Structure 1
Amino acid sequence: MSTLKAEIVDLIRQEGPIGIGRYMALALGHPRHGYYMTRDPFGRDGDFTTAPEISQMFGELIGLWAAHLWQAMGAPPSFRLVELGPGRGTLMGDMLRATRIVPGFQEAASVHLVETSPVLRRRQAAALAGRDPVWHDSVEEALSGPVILIANEFLDALPLDQFVMTPEGWRERLVGIGADGDLAFGLASGREASLRIAAEAGTIFEQPSLALDIVAQVAGHVAAEGGASLFIDYGSARAGFGDTLQAMKRHAFVDPLAEPGEADLTVHVDFERVGQAALKAGAALHGPASQREFLLALGLAQRAQALSLKAGAAQREAISAAFDRLIAPGETGMGDLFKVLALSHGNLPPLPGFDLHRLPDQG
């Protein structure tokens, strides 16, 4: 039994079963044994691979999207370029390299990273040497004045709570100790009276309160101070029910309770509810679009072709494989599963990649 698992078992024995959100927070963010606090989980030798690690094209297009947005904002002489959960710094590095061609953008931008992992902060410092990034422990600290904020695969790692419909009503899903002494899922003894959602018995409802609070905070800021935010993650465009908690280790799915602190825990993002939170906070909403639609609208095909013209045979094959993985549908790629949503100040014009993608209640 791992050290963190032993601590969680001991905690439950002392205090009783804990909610899914608290379990996720401990597994991912425990100050000594949390998953993100102790390792670099990215890439072939890690547990999963994100779009910036697949190809430089992803970050380059996001960077040019940000530069276009800056120009649409009136090219303010100073603004914060913020990234939430910046991984190894790969995405930000590619964005900054691509935007060197945009006069004034680099000089106006100050780079701000929201990162709690000391391991990843060191990787980011190396990747962004010379850019003097400023690190923050919270989203609130990073928001000041006009901002352009990017969050790729950030919301999916935020803890949420789960509830199960029983014949007596909604009851919270908990992590406790089973008959064998190991961690096991169970239900709270009392009903959750605050939930008034109709559903069949056995239905699981997820409540991503932290994600919705952060999105509302960002939306309120850009609505008041100017700028926009781009959220890219896997999830659904429409709200629904179901258990989306999953664990990944060495690029394979594992039991979420088996090795807390040793495997990545994530959930699917409910983009409809995220959009509603942003609208309620006063921001204009763009999307969601699929990652395939968004990247193709930004010129991914043309960028891949341009890179291929300068590449050798092996490099052309790698570019083609990366292109396919970024936009392919189904289980083979990220094109349909990943969605893209932008929040902006209401005075900005339509944003690239979202011309035909609006939620029905926007008109």
Structure 2
Amino acid sequence: MSIANYMGLCLTHPAKGYYRKADPLGAGGDFVTAPEISQMFGELIGFFFVNLWQQMDEPKAFTLLELGPGRGTLMADMLRVACRATGFRDALDLRLFETNPELIAQQNARLEAYDPKWIDSFEKVGDGPLLVVANEFFDALPIRQFVRGKDGWHERMVGLREGKRAFGLSPTPIPASAMPEAVQSAGEGEVLEVGIAGGEVMNRLSTQVARLGGAILAIDYGYGRTQTGETLQAVRRHKYADPLEAPGEADISAHVDFEALATVARRAGLAVQPLANQGAFLKSLGIGERAKMLSAANPGSARDIAAAQERLTGGDAMGELFKVLCAASPGLQPQGFAP
């Protein structure tokens, strides 16, 4: 089977899929996301969306959709800030795209006051403009891998070798002309990862935003230009693992090709901001000032607050590896991006 099919089964199988079972987040899980590191992350994202809502002349009805909301921490922090703006709470239609029953329960506990609705299709949004936030969502969507050979590209597959799961190559070559222009000069053995599922999701969302008005904010680890490179990885109990070793027991992901996502959004008619590093984005939104305010109010936690700020923005931490993509209705001016 293709790597995309393998990833899909490992992560979303109805009974044994990784994201259909226990809570994977936090110290007792397999990984930690930015909202779990500090409330500052969600608060600044909340400010970001309030600013867009105000630019849209404060519509009386709009949908705020989060993809893969985790424990609901990001949205809770966002709305704690955003709902201070007069009229925002009354206009809000909160939608959450989630499949994990345990996480849905936690999301409901944190967000019940905002009357959330869970959806299983990107077409199931309400009336009015659509604002979308996706933090560490696109990296978990299935990818396909292609390896450059002497006679063209060959898709990497997952199969059995001597009774054990192993990677192999399809014998059918794909001509180089069928691959993106950016990899035409790739050498033998180089790997191209293609996020077809991510492109489909971005297309559906962009089509909706183009029709309704609004914006999409995607934050993830990845690269700004389509390129070769093998990034498929598995994480289990905060350590890297073999993606083939324990299907359904580890988080499997790959770096996001943000150029490919941006191209899809532009084709749908959206304006795409220059890709930003997470560190620069958060600094532009005022994380430094927010950290000072929190430290002044909680002097005993000042060291922890500074450590969280560094983890979110530092070049050796999440600051440069994680990127921020915003695709919005033409005319909007999303905050946090270089002109």
Q: What's the TM-score, normalizing by structure 2?
A: 0.96
Partners of 1:217 and 1:281 within 8 A in 2: no
Partners of 1:143 and 1:221 within 8 A in 2: no
Deviates more, 1:135-144 or 1:204-213: 135-144
Partners of 2:30 and 2:238 within 8 A in 1: yes
Cα offsets for 1:179-206 (capped at 9, x unmatched): 2x11000001211347345221101111
Choose which of 210, 213, 217 in structure 2 pairs with 1:230: 217
Choose which of 312, 315, 322 in structure 2 pairs with 1:338: 322
Q: CA deviation at 1:144?
A: 4.7
Structure 2 counterpart SS, 1:128: helix
1:9 corresponding residue in structure 2? none
Counterparts of 1:73 and 1:171, CA distance in 2: 47
2:106 corresponding residue in structure 1? 123
Partners of 1:298 and 1:353 within 8 A in 2: yes
1:133 corresponding residue in structure 2? 116
Unaligned segments of structure 2, at least 5 residues:
none
Q: Percent same amino acid among aligned pairs?
A: 47
Cα offsets for 1:127-158 (capped at 9, x unmatched): 11221100011222236531111000000000
1:5 corresponding residue in structure 2? none
1:201 aligns with 2:188: yes
CA RMSD of aligned residues (A): 1.2
Counterparts of 2:222 and 2:155, CA distance in 1: 22
2:131 corresponding residue in structure 1? 148
Counterparts of 1:162 and 1:143, CA distance in 2: 36
Deviates more, 1:27-36 or 1:215-224: 215-224
- Following TM superposition, where does structure 1 have runs of at least 4 consecutive aligned residues deviating by more than 4 angstroms? none
Structure 1 counterpart SS, 2:221: strand
Counterparts of 1:83 and 1:292, CA distance in 2: 21
Q: CA deviation at 1:221?
A: 1.8
Structure 2 counterpart SS, 1:46: coil
Partners of 1:289 and 1:341 within 8 A in 2: yes
2:313 corresponding residue in structure 1? 327
The amino acid across from 2:290 in the alignment is R
Matches within 5 A, 1:8-27: 18-27=1-10
Structure 2 counterpart SS, 1:235: strand
Structure 2 counterpart SS, 1:101: coil
Choose which of 39, 52, 58 in structure 2 pairs with 1:75: 58
Counterparts of 1:345 and 1:270, CA distance in 2: 22
Counterparts of 1:142 and 1:161, CA distance in 2: 29
Q: CA deviation at 1:244?
A: 0.9
Cα offsets for 1:194-223 (capped at 9, x unmatched): 734522110111111110111122222222
Q: CA deviation at 1:39?
A: 1.1
Partners of 2:123 and 2:208 within 8 A in 1: no
The amino acid across from 1:78 in the alignment is A
Choose which of 158, 163, 166 in structure 2 pairs with 1:184: 166
Partners of 2:276 and 2:325 within 8 A in 1: yes
Aligned pair in 2 of structure 1 residues 101, 196: CA closer, same or farther (>3 Å)? closer
2:270 corresponding residue in structure 1? 283
Q: Kindly tell me the number of residue pairs found equivalent between the two proteins.
A: 334
Cα offsets for 1:261-303 (capped at 9, x unmatched): 0000000001111111111111010121000110000000000
1:273 corresponding residue in structure 2? 260
The amino acid across from 2:280 in the alignment is E
2:290 corresponding residue in structure 1? 303
1:312 aligns with 2:299: yes
Counterparts of 1:146 and 1:257, CA distance in 2: 42
1:175 corresponding residue in structure 2? 158
Partners of 1:286 and 1:342 within 8 A in 2: yes
Choose which of 26, 30, 44 in structure 1 pairs with 2:27: 44
Partners of 2:278 and 2:324 within 8 A in 1: yes
Partners of 2:31 and 2:235 within 8 A in 1: yes
Counterparts of 2:269 and 2:191, CA distance in 1: 30
Structure 2 counterpart SS, 1:141: coil
The amino acid across from 2:31 in the alignment is F
Aligned pair in 2 of structure 1 residues 143, 294: CA closer, same or farther (>3 Å)? farther
